[in-house]
Amino acid sequence: MAAGRDDFVIAFRSAFLKKKDKQKFSLLTLIFLSILVIILSNFNFKIIKIIKMGINEVVYRSSFFISIPENKIKSINAQINEHMKLYDDYKIIETDLENLKQKELSINFLKLENDKLRKLIDESIKSDEILAKVLIDKESPFLKSIVVNKGTKDKIKIGMAVIDRAYLVGKVIEVNYTNSRVLLLSDLNSKIPALLEPIGMQAVISGTGKNYGEIQYTKEEYENEIKIKKIIVYTSGLGGLFKAGLPIGTISADNIKKVNFFSDFKQLEYVKILSFNIESTN
Amino acid sequence: MSSLNKAPISNNFFSYFPIVILFISVFNEFDFNYLKIQYFSFNFIHILIFFWTLKNPNHLGYLSIFMAGVVNDVIVGLPLGLSSFCYLLICSVTAYVRNITLSPNFINDWLSFLFTILLVNSVQVIILDLIFLIQVDYIKYLINTGFTFIFYPLFFFIFNYVNKKIIVKLND
């Protein structure tokens, strides 16, 4: 029994404490160092923040360059697929265009009406868009986020909305000097206050870790409404974080909890970071 | 005389193969996720670290593994130091297994690998969920662990081939 314990102790000491010929540090030293890094990275001291930002800058830039061959292969693959579906897509787009032209006329009228009403209540929304390139989009199975090439030097702040064309894709959660990390709507930790239109119901949209979202909370039941109307999810603007009315997705008819996002998060190349300001004299 | 002491380029290539592959993997987050097969993903880095630290630790230093972990955390967006800690846990298990094993065989290695990745992923999930309050999908972790375990023999075969090449080249 004692011999067995001695063997364990010898094996343990040899494994953890002794440095091999080509190892510069023992395993135990590095394990303690990584625990120290985990603890320190959670403190908001200025020096730690600067070091973290420095590491992020270097790693993001390096990853961008190292990923160039992989991204090239991906884009060639996507181009081939697009060419294969060209004719089918053309037919669909042709009918869509006709429908959109008709809708545009009514939208223009609504826009003018909306501007007039805002003037009546002396409220104006000023919003700025900053175009950003997606540097890293790793499609990790666990955390859904992207890194974009705009940071504090471009006046990016934590919490800003990120959109792809007109559709909301996420929010800024970490800002470095020249780049920032965006948490996508599909991430499990993403929670967005939303408005279900045309029924006008407030809801909270949560990510699922998959390529769709989920209605986590609504004020009232909406099962009956969804059977007769197509429901579109917009940002509600509650909490003041996002501008109200940014389209998020549609509610699936087969599963009323499921939100199909308008934007395909796997195809993001350029996004716009949105800052807005509501001014009211009332 | 100097040519006798100079290692040929191919020797250097094979010597640095594990480190180069490790850093390419962490920078590219190499897990075949882009195949877009639902739920399919495996952790290539775990296989790489387990194999090389078990079979030939001289070619994959612990410091490199620590640095690779930091890079992985920054790329994926995990709390800094977490991946390093998990990778070094793998190294701890392999170092222990190497010390207690007299005659290595593949099945033992494979089962040790299963134990290791279950331990490492459990530790990671516990730290993320309970300490950092970051929600994670347990099912995805479990499936990832399953695929990582299944793919081990394939990469074992490839890495074993490279390892033999390294040993032969260094003995030349």
pLDDT in tens, A146-197: 888 888 888 888 888 898 888 888 889 888 888 899 999 888 888 888 888 7
pLDDT recorded at residue B88: 92
User: CB distance A41–B81 less than 8 Å?
Assistant: yes
Number of CB pairs, chain A paired with chain B, less than 8 A apart: 138
User: CB distance A142–B28 less than 8 Å?
Assistant: no
pLDDT in tens, B131-158: 888 888 888 888 889 999 999 999 999 9
Based on the number of CB atoms within 10 Å of its own CB, is B50 exposed (0-12), middle (13-18) or buried (19 or more)? buried
Average pLDDT for A63-79: 82
Helix axes B44-55, B82-100, angle to 10 degrees: 40
For B84, which of A34, A42, A140 is closest by C-beta distance?
A34
Comparing C-alpha atoms, which of A37, A100, A130 is closest to residue B74? A37
Per-residue burial over A29-39, b if 16 or more Cβ lie within 10 Å, else e, is bbbebbeebbe
What residues of chain A lie within 8 A of the CB of B62, using their CB?
Answer: 23-27, 30
Mutate to test the interface with B, among A142, A145, A188, A210 (most CBs of B within 10 A): A142
Average pLDDT, chain A: 80
pLDDT recorded at residue A120: 77
8 Å CB contact between A151 and A61 = no
Q: How far apart are CA A55 and CA A122, in angstroms?
A: 46
Conformational region of residue B29, where left means phi above 0, alpha means psi within -120 to 50, and beta covers everything else: left
Average pLDDT for A222-231: 70
- To which residue do tokens 């292969």 refer? A73
User: CB distance A31–B96 less than 8 Å?
Assistant: no
Residue B118 has pLDDT above 90, yes or no: yes
Kindly indicate the confidence band of residue B2, based on its pLDDT and cuts at 50, 70 and 90. Answer: very low
Comparing C-alpha atoms, which of B21, B29, B78 is closest to residue B52? B21
Asked if the C-beta of A267 comes within 8 angstroms of chain B's C-beta atoms, the answer is: no
For B61, which of A23, A138, A181 is closest by C-beta distance?
A23
Mutate to test the interface with B, among A8, A35, A38 (most CBs of B within 10 A): A38
Q: Of the ranges B36-40, B150-154, B164-168, which one carries the lowest mean pLDDT score? A: B36-40
8 Å CB contact between A215 and A134 = no
pLDDT recorded at residue B1: 44
pLDDT recorded at residue A141: 61
User: CB distance A24–B88 less than 8 Å?
Assistant: no
Among residues of chain A, what percentage have pLDDT more than 90? 1
pLDDT recorded at residue B49: 93
User: CB distance A189–B99 less than 8 Å?
Assistant: no
Q: How far apart are CA B16 and CA B60, in angstroms?
A: 8
For A141, which of B41, B69, B100 is closest by C-beta distance?
B41
Q: Which of residues 133-162 of A touch B (CB under 8 A)?
A: 136, 138-143, 145
What residues of chain A lie within 8 A of the CB of B144, using their CB?
Answer: 141
Kindly indicate the confidence band of residue A256, based on its pLDDT and cuts at 50, 70 and 90. Answer: confident
pLDDT: is A203 or A277 the higher one? A203
Mutate to test the interface with B, among A5, A12, A20, A27 (most CBs of B within 10 A): A27
Residue B7 has pLDDT above 50, yes or no: yes
pLDDT in tens, B17-37: 888 889 888 887 665 555 556
8 Å CB contact between A179 and A150 = yes
Collect all residues with Cβ–Cβ distance below 8 Å to B79 and sequence separation of at least 6. Answer: A38, A41, A42, B73, B127, B128, B132, B134
Residue A33 has pLDDT above 70, yes or no: yes
Helix axes A46-66, A68-84, angle to 10 degrees: 50
Collect all residues with Cβ–Cβ distance below 8 Å to A59 and sequence separation of at least 6. Answer: B27, B70, B71, B74, B75
Asked if the C-beta of A55 comes within 8 angstroms of chain B's C-beta atoms, the answer is: yes
Q: Of the ranges A22-26, A87-91, B65-69, which one carries the lowest mean pLDDT score? A: A22-26
User: Structure pTM?
Assistant: 0.74
Q: Which of residues 191-220 of A touch B (CB under 8 A)?
A: 209
What 3-state class would DSSP assign to A91? helix
User: CB distance A30–B88 less than 8 Å?
Assistant: yes
Asked if the C-beta of A23 comes within 8 angstroms of chain B's C-beta atoms, the answer is: yes
pLDDT in tens, A78-133: 888 888 888 888 989 988 998 888 888 878 888 888 878 877 776 666 677 888 88
User: CB distance B137–A142 less than 8 Å?
Assistant: yes
Residue B68 has pLDDT above 70, yes or no: yes
Tell whether ipTM is more than 0.95: no
Q: Which residue of A has its CA nearest to B83?
A: A34
Q: How far apart are CA B149 and CA B153, in angstroms?
A: 8
Kindly indicate the confidence band of residue B3, based on its pLDDT and cuts at 50, 70 and 90. Answer: very low
